[in-house]
């Protein structure tokens, strides 16, 4: 039995002591040693063939980089994954072409920090160029962006999103907080005013863009005033999609070494619940506003009573879905697109029928 990955990278000594029966432990960076230990040679030549897909056949995730150069106080990702390493653009275009040839219609671009792409290998931010080249891949219907960072955001990507029909008007940008004291404590390298300005600019440049964010409650030092600013921020911006989590005192992080974990867990949780309750009200209002409109919808799965799909404004597993009754449309195909008119809505889902 061999164990490898992020957990072993960070806690290898502890795991060896706790589970000595394991034959070998390997982290993210020394996994090649497994081959040596097994008496096998390591070859660095590119492999032929298509990449295996663990998602449904019509969409896939594509990682454009590994690691992170940011130094957010609470985050252990740079400790585990190391510095940012962009993948060459040619490799990504080739992979996208291969995915589309295998039947993939939607590619979700992911990275620990999507917006840092290219600064290491091309010495300039190259995300806009990458989006243009991927958008040109014949047969790619949707290209979706996940995990942008607000500081030094490459605004030129917004014009590419606006001009390219197959780039979804959707952006996942983790903002974490809005009060300036908290942003400084979190080492986010962005201010409250800059954040408001960036979000305003996004909505001006890409009309109809849907913004997803993630927010944190209970970072060391968060006062009730800081939290009220965060709550007002959610009311002001009216995010289309939002998640929240409570601060965790992660070993090895700047926050763990510098601050006391001084917010009681019940206070962290109560603040998160208030955030999500406010967002639920906003989400319900935004969904009701979609009733009567028609959206291009990708069918993800076939359930007992419904075909379940998504619009371009929703990522799989984390966002809302569109439910189409089989009584109204019994012959839809998973992986195909259909025009769907929204007939009703609740907080987290839309209900619709095929548009005539």
How does DSSP assign 186-197, residue by residue? TT-S--HHHHHH
Residue pair 127/154 in contact (Cβ under 8 Å)? The answer is: yes
Q: Catalogue all structural domains in the chain, each as residue range(s) with its CATH number.
A: 2-37 (no CATH), 59-288 (3.80.30.20), 294-354 (2.40.50.140)
Q: What is the pLDDT of residue 40?
A: 79
- Residues of the chain scoring pLDDT < 50: none
Cα three-residue angle 185-195-255, rounded to 5 degrees: 15
Q: What is the pLDDT of residue 7?
A: 84
CA-to-CA distance for 228 and 349, rounded, in angstroms? 28
Q: What is the pLDDT of residue 116?
A: 97
Continuous H helices in the chain: 6-18, 32-37, 77-81, 89-101, 127-135, 156-163, 180-185, 192-205, 224-237, 254-258, 265-288
Distances in Å between the Cα of 205 and the Cα atoms of 158, 201, 296 are 6, 6, 22
Q: How many CB atoms lie within 10 A of CB 193?
A: 9
Q: What is the pLDDT of residue 318?
A: 93
Q: How many CB atoms lie within 10 A of CB 198?
A: 17
206-255 pLDDT per residue, tens: 999 999 999 999 999 999 999 999 999 999 999 999 999 999 999 999 99
Q: What is the pLDDT of residue 46?
A: 56
Q: What is the pLDDT of residue 27?
A: 82
């Amino acid at each position: 039995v061999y164990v490898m990955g992020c957990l072993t990278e960070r806690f290898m000594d502890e795991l060896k002591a706790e589970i000595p029966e394991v034959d070998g432990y390997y982290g993210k960076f020394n996994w090649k040693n497994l081959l040596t230990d097994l008496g096998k040679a390591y070859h660095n030549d590119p492999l032929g063939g298509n990449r295996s897909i663990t998602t449904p056949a019509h969409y896939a995730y594509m990682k454009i980089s590994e690691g992170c150069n940011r130094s957010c106080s609470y985050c252990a990702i740079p400790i585990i994954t190391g510095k940012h390493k962009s993948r060459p653009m040619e490799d990504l275009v080739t992979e996208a072409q291969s995915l589309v040839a295998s039947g993939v219609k939607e590619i979700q671009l992911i990275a620990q920090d999507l917006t840092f792409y290219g600064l290491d290998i091309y010495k300039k931010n190259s995300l806009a160029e990458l989006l243009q080249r991927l958008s040109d891949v014949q047969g790619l219907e949707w290209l979706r962006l996940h995990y942008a960072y607000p500081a030094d955001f490459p605004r030129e990507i917004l014009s590419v999103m606006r001009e390219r029909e197959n780039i979804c008007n959707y952006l996942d940008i983790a903002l974490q907080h809005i009060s300036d004291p908290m942003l400084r404590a979190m080492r986010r390298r962005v201010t409250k005013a800059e954040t408001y300005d960036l979000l305003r600019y996004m909505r001006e440049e890409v009309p109809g863009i849907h913004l997803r964010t993630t927010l944190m409650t209970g970072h060391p030092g968060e006062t009730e005033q800081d939290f009220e600013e965060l709550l007002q921020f959610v009311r002001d911006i009216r995010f289309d999609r939002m998640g929240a989590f409570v601060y965790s005192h992660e070993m090895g992080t700047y926050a763990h070494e510098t601050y006391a974990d001084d917010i009681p867990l019940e206070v962290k949780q109560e603040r998160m619940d208030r955030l999500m309750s406010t967002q639920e009200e906003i989400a319900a209002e935004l969904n009701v506003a979609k009733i009567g409109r028609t959206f291009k919808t990708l069918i993800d799965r076939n359930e007992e009573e419904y075909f379940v799909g998504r619009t371009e404004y929703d990522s799989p597993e984390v966002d809302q879905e569109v439910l189409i009754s089989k009584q109204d449309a019994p012959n839809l195909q998973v992986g195909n697109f259909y025009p769907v008119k929204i007939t009703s809505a609740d907080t987290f889902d839309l209900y619709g029928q095929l548009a005539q």
